[in-house]
């Protein structure tokens, strides 16, 4: 149960940090999107 809770906290902190980064630098979302696409296997 604690592992699930800690995982939820980690996801929440990650989401908040991404939102803050977007507010500080709007181009961050574009960079992150491209980075995520580059990690995905091309189909």
Q: Where are the domains of the chain?
A: 1-35
Whether residue 13 is predicted with pLDDT greater than 90 in this model: the reply is yes
Higher pLDDT, 14 or 19: 14
On whether the CB atoms of residues 22 and 29 are closer than 8 A, the answer is yes
Query: Which residue blocks in the chain are alpha helix, DSSP H?
Result: 2-24, 28-39
Residue 8 banded pLDDT, cuts 50, 70, 90: very high
26-41 residue pLDDT tens = 665 566 666 666 665 6
Higher pLDDT, 12 or 22: 12
Whether residue 19 is predicted with pLDDT greater than 80 in this model: the reply is yes
């Amino acid at each position: 149960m604690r592992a699930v809770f800690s995982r939820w906290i980690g996801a929440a902190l990650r989401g908040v940090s991404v939102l803050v980064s977007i507010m500080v630098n709007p181009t961050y979302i574009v960079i992150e999107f491209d980075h995520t696409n580059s990690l995905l296997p091309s189909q």
